[in-house]
């Protein structure tokens, strides 16, 4: 079963949750590089498709963190949803343990890569 979420952040994002890796978000965006979460530090301020496994979801009153590949503080990439936008995404806890692809622009926050999600389409 596939669940597809389209997400907008600083620039357009697409997030895909899939047990079947045959249909990639990257296929919908020719010319955009597909990278692993660990490679994110090499692509600041660039739009890429990042792949990884959701290792941890942390919901706080003001924001939600989705950590890829490893739990905080060892995660190579944090996906951040601020409180005002969290209702757009529903129960993000269902992402735990699933492989995802996220298209968007990598930003640096305290010298670590992150993607900020603020809406869906």
pLDDT in tens, 57-72: 999 988 999 999 999 9
CB 21 within 8 A of CB 15: no
Put simply, whether the predicted model's pTM sits higher than 0.85 gets the answer no
Q: What average pLDDT does range 100-116 have in this prediction? A: 90
- Number of C-beta neighbours around residue 96 at 10 A: 12
Residue 13: beta bridge partners?
A: 7
Q: Which of 22-31's residues contact partners 24+ apart within 8 Å by CB, and which partners? A: 24/49, 24/101, 25/49, 25/101, 25/102, 25/103, 26/101, 26/103, 29/103
Q: Which residue has the higher pLDDT, 83 or 38?
A: 38
pLDDT score of 106 more than 90: yes
pLDDT score of 8 more than 50: no
Least confident window among 4-8, 25-29, 97-101: 4-8
Cα 115 from Cα 85, distance rounded (Å): 14
Phi-psi region of 7 (alpha: psi -120 to 50; beta: other; left: phi over 0): beta
DSSP structural state of residue 45: T
């Amino acid at each position: 079963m596939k669940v597809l979420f389209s997400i907008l952040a600083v620039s357009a994002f697409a997030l895909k949750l899939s047990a079947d890796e045959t249909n990639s978000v990257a296929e919908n965006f020719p010319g955009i590089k597909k990278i692993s979460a660990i490679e994110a530090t090499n692509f600041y301020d660039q739009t890429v498709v990042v792949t990884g496994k959701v290792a941890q979801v942390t919901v706080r009153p003001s924001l939600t963190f989705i950590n890829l590949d490893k739990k905080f503080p060892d995660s190579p990439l944090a996906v951040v949803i601020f409180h005002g936008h969290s209702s757009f995404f529903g129960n993000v806890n269902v992402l735990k343990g699933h492989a995802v692809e996220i298209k968007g622009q990598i930003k640096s926050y305290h010298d670590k890569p992150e993607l900020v999600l603020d809406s869906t389409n």
